[in-house]
A and B are shown apart, each in its own frame.
Chain A
Amino acid sequence: MSKRRTMLDKLWRAHEILCREDGISLLWVDRHLVHEGSHHAFAKLTDRDLQVARPDLTFAVVDHYAPTRDRARIADPKIAGMIDTLRKNAQAHRLRLFDLHDQDQGIVHVIGPEQGLTLPGLLINCGDSHTSTHGAFGALAFGIGATEVAHVLATQTVWQRKPRTMRITLNGTLGPGVTAKDIALNWIAALGTGGAQGHAVEYAGSAVQALSMEGRMTLCNLSIEGGARLGMIAPDATTFDYLKERPFAPDLDWEAAVTTWSTLASDEGAIFDRDVTFDAAEIAPTVTWGTSPEQALPVTATLPDPTAVAPEKAKAIDAALDYMGLQPGRPLEGTPIDQVFIGSCTNGRIEDLRAAAAVLAGQRAKVPGLVAPGSAQVKAQAEQEGLDDVFKTAGLTWAASGCSMCVGMNGDLVAAGKRCASSTNRNFRGRQGPGARTHLMSPAMVAAAALTGTIIDVRRFLGERAA
């Protein structure tokens, strides 16, 4: 009997050029995505007088430093310099650049799929940890550091040890108001930020299959916050429908490609190194309360009490509550917030904006906030649907696309001590600015928080359906 293979086995085999005696494989890279932060890697290349090996497989995008207001003139010379350096490198190496004013510009993990650069069966690298997003299409996609980026630029290959396999199965159906974001925060809270360390996570089960591509991308995107090397979902009709007729998707080869892609799913009965199962129906809208994505709770819960746990755990809880300015044992719901942010490669896609706008619809927010679409195309689509008016009527700022307040590199920051309800992926200390306090949640939950000025269960806004 032939061995039953996981999707990771299949993808690995399809890219393995050679395997050394010490078990490290040299893998072929199908797509390499670079951004302003890749300047260290380009400098390494220049130092050695090397050229990019495959400019046709390398794509550059302005996103991390992209101004979301006032694009015509960039006041900060450091930010302008970062964008200019990428332009120069892209030009010197003849790379397709999705520049600031390009109608296809956006966050690298949003535009890859949008352009059809992301396809099932590909190996995709980017010098960014959330490269795991692209695994939603059945691709082998993982983030790498600057030295490895330089290596991929120079050779179109990457050295890797094969990760262990882990399957996270979500059975059942998600309740109303519960999203892929909640699935992710829920499993990370259950298993910890090191819960999937060294593993390639494959998501399976009816609740995952039922997700749109947007939802699948959110789920795979957050894999890294649970310590996983990458996340992936078997491609199916939802995947193919999303990709058909995207600019870089196969055209004449479409049928052949779909036939090949349909063989990528893990074989029935394939064994994973770890198998974890959750019941989707039990997941509530989930919110982080601390400074690590594992410090997340159902919105209906109360904040942890350090006096009620073992001393070695108490220290971390104490420190997080202190940084976040929260009282132990109090209900999470009702915590007043100062501002909101909707955007990022986790939740800055059209479906995310629709979900937030549906909650806001015609009402005014109690706190200010920023909405930065994940790409220029998402922005155009949202404007066509009138979502921008919903956000503006609510009193939120409608901005241009980029990483924006997810990381604050472009100057969109949360001030010290301010509390932000955010659709992003990291609630680390200082992530949104020095001293900033971040609560991660789904876009609909962020919208609900905006309306009331407090952290609140979005299911209260769903009327009959929530009953």
Chain B
Amino acid sequence: MAGWTIHQGRAVHLGLDNIDTDQLIPARFMSTPRAEGYGQFLLHDLRSDPEFPLNRHRDVSILVAGRNFGTGSSREAAVYALFDAGFRAVIAPSFGDIFAANAVNNGLLPARVSDDAQAELAAFLAAEPAEITIDLNTRTIALDDRTFPFDVDESWRTKLINGWDDIDLTRQHADKIAAFAACRAFSEPWVFPTASD
């Protein structure tokens, strides 16, 4: 996964609260191998309406959404759909916990903003998408002459900037993990199942 620090792109406003991952990608598309691209499935069942914002504007990479974005199922495919459709950031007042973790693991920023900032962004983007700049270093969103701060877990920010992969990081701790497992097997042996049937 490639890291990034500054992203400049066109932002589109999607008014709704509680956009769950079942809407981000309906279950019936999830058997598709990732190599085939998931962008075509993004918000699939809402897109039958030609006026839906994502149908009208295709050259966008930042989504401004309502409260509790990505709630529901843990399906990482929801992030694949956003990423493969070209999105690099979602700006919302709150996110589903698992969705946000999945997003960061794929280089997609879940940027948390205040309700006021969300409302101002929404107003700014109401008519048409517009260019905005997201800076992970300063944790700010800039549009025209205004800037808004956003929140993101510090460890996630570092991960996004460096494009780190957790498996590589964890393997550096292999000795500690092995020692921990040995200790656990000694103190609580029943944790390690032996039944076979």
Number of interface residues of B (CB under 8 A): 56
Give Cα A159 to B101, complex, Å.
10
| Contacting residue for B74 out of A26, A143, A197, CB 8 A | A143
B101 touches A17 (CB 8 A): no
Evaluate whether A57 and B167 lie within 8 angstroms (CB atoms) in the complex, with A127-B74, A148-B105, A408-B28 already known: no
Give Cα A58 to B15, complex, Å.
41
Interface centre among A57, A147, A409 (most CB of B within 10 A): A147
Give Cα A43 to B31, complex, Å.
13
B184 touches A28 (CB 8 A): yes
B75 touches A37 (CB 8 A): yes
B68 touches A248 (CB 8 A): no
Q: Who on chain A is nearest to B79 by CB? A: A145
Which residues of chain B are within 8 angstroms of A248 by Cβ–Cβ distance? 193, 195
B140 at the interface (CB under 8 A from A): no
Which residues of chain A are within 8 angstroms of B105 by Cβ–Cβ distance? 145, 147-148
Taking the nearest CB of chain A, how far is it from the CB of B82, in angstroms?
13
A430 at the interface (CB under 8 A from B): yes
B173 touches A18 (CB 8 A): yes
| Contacting residue for B158 out of A22, A121, A429, CB 8 A | A22
| Contacting residue for A247 out of B27, B75, B197, CB 8 A | B197
Evaluate whether A429 and B45 lie within 8 angstroms (CB atoms) in the complex, with A20-B155, A145-B79, A407-B27 already known: yes
Q: Which residues of chain B from 1 to 48 have a CB within 8 Å of any chain A CB?
A: 15-18, 20, 22-23, 26-28, 30-31, 33-34, 45
Q: Which residues of chain A from 232 to 268 have a CB within 8 Å of any chain B CB?
A: 247-250, 253, 256-257, 260
Give Cα A147 to B101, complex, Å.
9
Give Cα A156 to B105, complex, Å.
18
Taking the nearest CB of chain A, how far is it from the CB of B86, in angstroms?
20
Give Cα A78 to B180, complex, Å.
41
A150 at the interface (CB under 8 A from B): yes
Give Cα A119 to B193, complex, Å.
11
A161 at the interface (CB under 8 A from B): yes
Q: Who on chain A is nearest to B71 by CB? A: A193
Give Cα A248 to B191, complex, Å.
10
Which residues of chain A are within 8 angstroms of B33 by Cβ–Cβ distance? 43
Give Cα A154 to B180, complex, Å.
16
| Contact flags B77-118 to A (C-beta < 8 A → 1, else 0) | 101000000000000001011110110011000000000000
Evaluate whether A17 and B180 lie within 8 angstroms (CB atoms) in the complex, with A40-B34, A56-B192 already known: yes
Interface centre among A22, A256, A257 (most CB of B within 10 A): A22
Give Cα A154 to B171, complex, Å.
9
| Contacting residue for A143 out of B98, B166, B177, CB 8 A | B98
Evaluate whether A122 and B191 lie within 8 angstroms (CB atoms) in the complex, with A37-B75, A40-B76, A316-B17 already known: yes
Q: Which residues of chain A from 26 to 51 have a CB within 8 Å of any chain B CB?
A: 26, 28, 30, 37, 39-40, 43, 48, 50
A145 touches B176 (CB 8 A): no
B31 touches A78 (CB 8 A): yes
A144 at the interface (CB under 8 A from B): yes
Which residues of chain A are within 8 angstroms of B153 by Cβ–Cβ distance? 161
Number of interface residues of A (CB under 8 A): 74
Q: Who on chain A is nearest to B15 by CB? A: A315
B184 touches A256 (CB 8 A): no
A128 touches B193 (CB 8 A): no
Taking the nearest CB of chain B, how far is it from the CB of A153, in angstroms?
9
Which residues of chain A are within 8 angstroms of B17 by Cβ–Cβ distance? 316
Q: Which residues of chain A from 129 to 186 have a CB within 8 Å of any chain B CB?
A: 129, 143-148, 150-151, 154-157, 159, 161
| Contacting residue for A148 out of B99, B101, B188, B197, CB 8 A | B101
A331 at the interface (CB under 8 A from B): no
| Contact flags A302-317 to B (C-beta < 8 A → 1, else 0) | 0000000000000110
A197 touches B167 (CB 8 A): no
| Contacting residue for A17 out of B67, B68, B74, B177, CB 8 A | B177
A193 touches B18 (CB 8 A): yes
A161 touches B155 (CB 8 A): yes
A87 at the interface (CB under 8 A from B): no
CB pairs A–B below 8 angstroms (28 shown): A17-B173, A17-B176, A28-B180, A28-B181, A43-B33, A57-B193, A65-B31, A116-B195, A145-B79, A145-B101, A146-B77, A146-B102, A148-B101, A150-B167, A151-B170, A194-B71, A247-B195, A253-B189, A257-B190, A316-B18, A409-B30, A426-B22, A428-B22, A428-B23, A429-B22, A430-B22, A434-B26, A435-B45
Interface residues of B (CB under 8 A from A): 15-18, 20, 22-23, 26-28, 30-31, 33-34, 45, 67-68, 71-77, 79, 94, 96-99, 101-102, 105-106, 153-155, 158, 166-167, 170-171, 173, 176-177, 180-181, 184, 188-193, 195, 197
Extra contacts, 16 of them, besides A144-B98, A157-B177, A428-B23 (Cβ < 8 A), are A23-B155, A37-B75, A145-B74, A145-B99, A148-B102, A156-B181, A161-B155, A193-B71, A227-B68, A227-B96, A249-B190, A253-B190, A292-B18, A407-B27, A409-B31, A429-B45
